[in-house]
Amino acid sequence: MMIKQPHSLFQRIFKHPISTILTGTLTVILATLLVKEFISKPILSSLFSDEPLIKSITASIGASVMFLAYYLHLKYLEKKSFSEFSFKYIHKELPTGLMIGFGAMSLVVFILYLLGYYNFVDIKSLYEFLPTVAFIFGAAVLEEIIFRGLIFRKLEQWKGPITALMVSSLIFQIPHFMNLHSGISPAILGVLFGVVTGLMYAYTRRLWLPIGFHFAWNLVQPIFITTLSGGKFISLFEAQLEGPELIIGSEFGLEVSIFSFAFLFIIGGYYYSKLRNRSYFKIN
């Protein structure tokens, strides 16, 4: 579907899909940073001395600001409804995403346990793990709003679904190149993950499903080990993970295990087939 172009040069530039993407991205990111760094952190630090509590509340406030900033962007710049976050479907799509993401990565851990590569040692503090949960949720919300809600959606309107899916997935991987222990396998994983979440968004036309999936997929990893996408987090379980990188993943994390790739292909294939049955990829 082609976007109707306004008449004046300024309006054409301002309303161009790329300008809209950039404006929306800056709005969400800057609003979140400003509130977290200059409002929530200073206030919470003056009220509490408990670091896990401060981090958890700060991350939760940040996620709320992301929702609000995206809503304001849609309402006042794009003149569009907040349909990507329709509460009519949250009870179905968010839990579905959580179950798919949690189920897939938990199965990876379970397979590694059966093969003797994963060995549980002890359970750590759930309370100290809460900031990790809040941070990962905020990151999932931010990335899905930007890469699916803004980039994928506007590219889909402008250039069609196939281009939108490929380009948004490649762009999604670009900031992840800055992660520690990045390489070929993590890069392929990032692009594939972008394709899968893009298909989820295209299927539902909402962000609940990809956010739930993204959050749960990422959360499972620091539950069972400390590494996620090259970063070290406080984990919930203490465990030993030893074996060939092809099987257990690299220092980047469990998500580059061959089993993680396999589950992503299965999940992506499922939503691709659903969309193909709708003739979503049909070129007019």
Put simply, whether the predicted model's pTM sits higher than 0.75 gets the answer: yes
Residue 183 lies in a domain: yes
The rounded distance, in Å, linking the Cα atoms of 141 and 92 is: 17
Residue 99 lies in a domain: yes
pLDDT grade, residue 231 (50/70/90)? Answer: confident
Residue 34 lies in a domain: no
Q: Taking 60 as the threshold, does the pLDDT of residue 1 lie above it?
A: no
Q: Taking 80 as the threshold, does the pLDDT of residue 214 lie above it?
A: yes
Residue 22 lies in a domain: no
Residue 11 lies in a domain: no
Residue 10 lies in a domain: no
Q: Taking 90 as the threshold, does the pLDDT of residue 6 lie above it?
A: no
208 closest CA partner among 60, 74, 63, 97: 97
Half-sphere exposure of 261 (CA within 13 A, CB side): 15
250 closest CA partner among 233, 213, 225: 225
pLDDT tens per residue, range 108-150: 999 999 999 999 999 998 999 999 999 999 999 999 999 999 9
- Indicate the number of domains in the chain: 1
Domain that holds residue 97: 85-277
DSSP-assigned letter for residue 250: B
Residue 28 lies in a domain: no
Residue 191 lies in a domain: yes
Q: Taking 80 as the threshold, does the pLDDT of residue 12 lie above it?
A: no
Percent share of the chain, pLDDT over 90: 77
Q: Taking 80 as the threshold, does the pLDDT of residue 269 lie above it?
A: yes
